[in-house]
Structure 1
Amino acid sequence: MRHAGQAALDALEPLILRLRALPGLTEKTRGVFYRKSRAFLHFHEDPAGLFADVRTVAAGDFERIDVTAEAGRERLVAMVVAELAS
C-alpha cells in the first residue's frame, strides 16, 4: 500500500479541510498531520480504496481506517476528535 498521491488527496480534500480545522493538529505536508512532534495521521491508496492511518492510544500505534466512503470518513473524524481530547 503506497502513500496517497495527489489525485487521491484531491478526492479526500473535503475530509482534509475538516482535519485542518481541528485544533492540535499540524499539517507538515498535504495530508500528513502531526500532533505535537509525532506523526499522527496520513493517507494511503491501493486498489481496495483509500485509507487513513491514525495513531491511537488504544492501539498504541497506527490504526488503519477505510475512508473510501463517507461513513469511514465520519468514523475517522470522530476518532481524531476523541484522540485530541485525551
Structure 2
Amino acid sequence: MLPFLSDYARLLTRYGLPEDPSMEELNELGEERLTEFASALLALQRRVSLARADLPAGFMKHLPVVLMRQEEAKRIGFRADSGYER
C-alpha cells in the first residue's frame, strides 16, 4: 500500500492538487490536463488492483463526476480550458 500512496501523492503534486481535491480544483486543470490526470488515476488504480473501499478518500471520490463532465463537455463542444464554446 505504501508504494501506491507515494504514487498517488506524486500524481497530486505533479498536477498541483491538494490531498483531497475539490471539483473546483479539478476543473481548474483545464480539459487537457484533466484528461491526463484522470487517465493517470485510472492507470494507477489498475496497476495496484485495489478495491475502491481501500483507496484514499480523495482518490475515487470525484473521478466518476469528472469523467462524466468531461464527456458531456466534449459532446457539446465546450473547451473547459478556454471558458467558451467552439
- Tell me the TM-score normalised to structure 1 length: 0.28
Richer in helix (by share): 2
Higher gyration radius (CA): 2
